[in-house]
């Protein structure tokens, strides 16, 4: 969270959960409502963090985001989906080497369908 705040994001809510999905962080970035998925990996044996944001996850986040926008009357605000990837080097502790953190702004568009 502090990583995003240091880059100008204002955190609105963390771990917004509904029965059909969740969003890790909802934030404001210069007037844009941002729905953030955070993915962490230790090493890349299962692929980079961003690969785990599948189409299914994107659709789930889209449904939750639409519910949040409707519930809070925010349909007139611009919005986007960002993904934060946190990669810890395999076999190393955070004390020996900090993780690599990358933010992909506007990582995907609102997803509809099954």
What percent of the chain stands above pLDDT 70?
Answer: 91
Strand order from edge to edge, sheet including 32-42: 10-18, 21-29, 32-42, 79-88, 100-108
Average pLDDT, rounded, for the chain: 89
pLDDT of residue 94 exceeding 60, the answer is: no
pLDDT, position 52: 82
Predicted confidence (pLDDT) per residue in 21-56, tens digit: 999 999 999 999 999 999 988 877 777 788 889 899
Mean pLDDT score, 57-80:
95
Domain boundaries, the chain: 2-108
CATH of domain 2-108: 3.40.1350.10
Output the pTM of the full model.
0.88
Give how far the C-alpha of residue 82 lies from the chain's centroid of Cα atoms, to the nearest Å: 5
């Amino acid at each position: 969270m502090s990583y995003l705040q240091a880059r100008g994001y204002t955190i609105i809510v963390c771990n917004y959960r509904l029965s059909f999905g969740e969003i890790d962080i909802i934030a404001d970035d210069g007037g844009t409502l941002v729905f953030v998925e955070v993915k962490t990996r230790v090493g890349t044996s299962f692929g980079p963090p961003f690969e785990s944001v599948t189409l299914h996850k994107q659709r789930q986040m889209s449904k939750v985001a639409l519910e949040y926008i409707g519930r809070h009357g925010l349909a007139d605000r611009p919005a986007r989906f960002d993904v934060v990837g946190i990669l810890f080097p395999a076999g190393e502790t955070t004390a020996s080497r900090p993780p690599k953190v990358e933010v992909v702004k506007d990582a995907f568009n609102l997803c509809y369908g099954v």
